[in-house]
A = this chain, B = another copy of it.
């Protein structure tokens, strides 16, 4: 009995030492992070000095240079650019829509959806048909011919997770033009993807199907959508005129930006952390995904600031082209997967720089439980909710080779108020909330770097 006790005590000693040291380091990440709020300084540089950074734009290339220089400045062991070919869609000068009633025109707040073709210069004019589902569109049949289809299914307000509400509405934006064109419509207007009721349109990616005619697609503000809905209740018909000058040019060469701190013991095992460096051309891409970019840089900076070296390699990737093509994530996976090193885990931050609540994890049970075992460390910054299911668009292509996928889960209530719109600016980001997310990522990356996932 005595001997067994002694053994237990002896066995516990190294465990406690390791564990105390992780607690101490987690607290140092917290203290250094909250004292400096450095991720906010970085976000100011990215949003104010560079600004919005759509794939293919000059601004995106400025952001690449900023990212490279910043990763070099914080003292990464290596920093490099990975070539990626990206789409080049340009919004153009003209995007406007009106309701037309004889000679009276009323302006609507719209913006082209990303990837949309433009209209003829004189615009497209047609009667509006309001729908809430693709079934309704299909049922229109011949009646849809030459009409403007108005998708007006709102976010489900009863979903506590706004991401879930987005998931339940976004096919109107991504596939609405295809389904409307299938029945001969001339254009589509899509209710903006947000819970907020205001006059700001929210852009975002839309798709075409090569076997179906391409028709222009625009987002309308929720106030505008409610107005059109009310008009359709009271009038026999509502005519809308839309003009867009957006255009898709040839693909252009661009880059992912990569920086890493080499592992001291198992350097070929890589913990990837990242966000996407591109944004839409509205606002400043402050939450989406400037926040994920600066948090991913801040993780490495905190490690350097504390003069630490992880056992495994921790690599920050600032991905190109998440918003309209995912070429950055796909190219990264194809270039690096199954090469000399193994991505044991990839952690993405792409739900905004709000107060972190925890992480969503897609991994097998053993890895999941291992990651969950770090929740007492993450509790230091209130980010201890480890739930099943999560990841990120950019890291998604790595999943095929067994990499554990992790997504930072911040509070979600305000994200879609700003997302893909002129409202996504740095004044909507709170310095401490942003930094707490970075610290949570640092704690988790460091812990996995020390212990691995096996």
- Which of A49-57, A429-437, A445-453 interfaces with chain B? A429-437
Query: A34 at interface (Cβ–Cβ under 8 A)?
Result: yes
Tell me how far the C-beta of A36 lies from the nearest C-beta in chain B, rounded to whole angstroms: 9
| Per-residue contact bits, chain A 356-400, to B (CB 8 Å; 1 contact, 0 not) | 010000000000000000000000111000000000000000000
Tell me how far the C-beta of A384 lies from the nearest C-beta in chain B, rounded to whole angstroms: 9
Tell me how far the C-beta of A28 lies from the nearest C-beta in chain B, rounded to whole angstroms: 10
Query: A237 at interface (Cβ–Cβ under 8 A)?
Result: no
Prevailing SS type, chain A contact patch: loop
Q: Which residues of B contact A158 (CB under 8 A)?
A: 30-31, 34-35
Q: Interface residue count for A (Cβ, 8 Å)?
A: 22
Q: Which of A397-432 contact B (CB under 8 A)?
A: 411, 413-414, 430, 432
Contact B195 A432 (CB under 8 A): yes
Tell me how far the C-beta of A433 lies from the nearest C-beta in chain B, rounded to whole angstroms: 5
Q: Which of A320-379 contact B (CB under 8 A)?
A: 355, 357
Query: A160 at interface (Cβ–Cβ under 8 A)?
Result: yes
Q: How many copies of this chain?
A: 2
How many Å lie between the Cα of A433 and that of B430 in the bound state?
16
Of A31, A158, A357, A381, most buried by chain B (CB within 10 Å of CB) is A158
Query: A2 at interface (Cβ–Cβ under 8 A)?
Result: no
How many Å lie between the Cα of A195 and that of B414 in the bound state?
22
How many Å lie between the Cα of A160 and that of B382 in the bound state?
8
Query: A157 at interface (Cβ–Cβ under 8 A)?
Result: yes
Tell me how far the C-beta of A206 lies from the nearest C-beta in chain B, rounded to whole angstroms: 27
Q: Which residues of B contact A34 (CB under 8 A)?
A: 157-160
Tell me how far the C-beta of A44 lies from the nearest C-beta in chain B, rounded to whole angstroms: 14
Nearest 5 interchain pairs by C-beta: A31-B158, A34-B157, A34-B158, A413-B432, A355-B411
Please list 19 pairs of residues, one from A and one from B, whose beta carbons are closer than 8 Å in the complex, sorted by A's number.
A30-B158, A34-B158, A34-B160, A35-B157, A35-B158, A37-B157, A157-B432, A160-B380, A160-B381, A160-B382, A195-B432, A355-B411, A355-B413, A357-B357, A411-B411, A413-B433, A413-B436, A414-B430, A414-B433
